[in-house]
Structure 1
């Protein structure tokens, strides 16, 4: 399976960027009180992209050696993904007020940017590592 690593990695990156872009679009329009971000086809698209993203991630984990967890960047990325999902749920559905949803939306986008930074730098500090 190692021979397919580059293709799986690129597919994973594509799905991650597509998932983040779709969330950004849905969140912006949901904050504008539009109904289409909550429509079933849009949610199905989001679930499909996220399922493909998770599948590619699991495939990469089976290919890569266990030493990937040695420096902590992958662990930090996984922890921040959980934070991103929770913030996203509050931004799109669970936030009781518009202000709460907006704060959660902005925080989720910032967490997504940090996840991307961690993935690019392979450092638990992500973009902050570049400031050192």
Structure 2
């Protein structure tokens, strides 16, 4: 598979990921029980697995090593971990509607940071442009 095909697949899976997250957050902020559709529970995990696999393929093919020779990729990995933690608070772990809302907004901001780090190839994200 060509580099550009995998890169575009990675970008597509990233956009699908944030759209699915925002849909799930919109449903879950008022009440996590509102996410009862099995597809909404499974599809994000399938999509995010494909996103991660494409990202790993790209990193390996370009010899980019997080926590090694690629600070911007390190920033994306750290951002991804934070996005997952904060996203779980927004979708199911937040005790109150307010906590879930703040977590959802924070997760979207973290996603924007990750996207900016990818575009700018810098841990400064959008500030580097």
Q: How does the TM-score come out when normalised to structure 1?
A: 0.88
- 1:63 and 2:44 are equivalent in the alignment: no
Separation (CA, whole Å) in 2 of partners of 1:91 and 1:97: 10
- SS of alignment partner, residue 123 of structure 2: coil
Runs of 4 or more above 6 Å deviation: none
Q: CA deviation at 1:33?
A: 3.4
**Uncovered stretches (5+) of structure 2, i.e. residues with no partner:** none
Equivalence for 2:37: 39
Determine which of 27, 30, 34 is the counterpart of 2:28.
30
Separation (CA, whole Å) in 2 of partners of 1:30 and 1:66: 36
Q: 1:67 to 1:86 in 2, by over 3 A?
A: closer
Count how many residue pairs are aligned between Structure 1 and Structure 2: 128
Equivalence for 2:19: 21
Q: CA deviation at 1:58?
A: 1.4
**Uncovered stretches (5+) of structure 1, i.e. residues with no partner:** none
Q: CA deviation at 1:65?
A: 1.7
- Superposed CA deviations along residues 25-75 of structure 1, whole A, max 9, x for unmatched, are 110121243755342211111111011101111111221124775351000
- Superposed CA deviations along residues 77-104 of structure 1, whole A, max 9, x for unmatched, are 1001000000000000001111111111
Q: How does the TM-score come out when normalised to structure 2?
A: 0.90
Q: 1:94 to 1:49 in 2, by over 3 A?
A: same
